[in-house]
Amino acid sequence: MWSKAEAAGEQGHAWVVYDAALIVENGLHHMLDATIVVACPRQMQIARVMARDDLSREDATARVDSQLPLADKIAVADYVVDNDSTLEDTRARVGELHASLSERVAQTGSAKPPSKPTTTP
């Protein structure tokens, strides 16, 4: 992970995004400049897992319940993206956050917000 980030920096990239579902559970968020949590209501999360993985409601619920509670992830997040609407809405929110982070990194050299968490509109 670190060598890939270093290589990206050497190639001129100002920042790197790690897409890791268990980054908070594994305590790796402490090693990063900022943490983004993508969140949606529990029932929506279960329905999406059912559709994505072709699971029964019982199996999807068990999978969601085996994860760290969303509230715990949000508590350590620097940014929260609400993923409770359409894919287009989520893409727009991520685009806004990307633009904001790009500007913040260009200005300060850090993605860390002045206060946390920041939820996308």
Q: Is residue 7 part of a domain?
A: no
Q: Is residue 11 part of a domain?
A: no
| Counted domains in the chain | 1
Q: Is residue 5 part of a domain?
A: no
Q: Is residue 4 part of a domain?
A: no
Q: Which domain holds residue 32?
A: 19-119
Tens-binned pLDDT, residue by residue, of the chain (121 aa): 889 989 998 999 988 888 887 899 998 898 888 999 999 999 999 999 999 999 999 999 999 999 999 999 999 999 999 999 999 999 999 999 999 999 999 999 889 887 655 555 5
Q: Is residue 6 part of a domain?
A: no
- Distance (Å, whole) CA 24 – CA 10: 27
Q: Is residue 8 part of a domain?
A: no
pTM, rounded to two decimals: 0.83
Query: Burial level of 112, CB count in 10 A (0-12/13-18/19+)?
Result: middle
Q: What CATH number should be reported for the domain holding residue 76?
A: 3.40.50.300
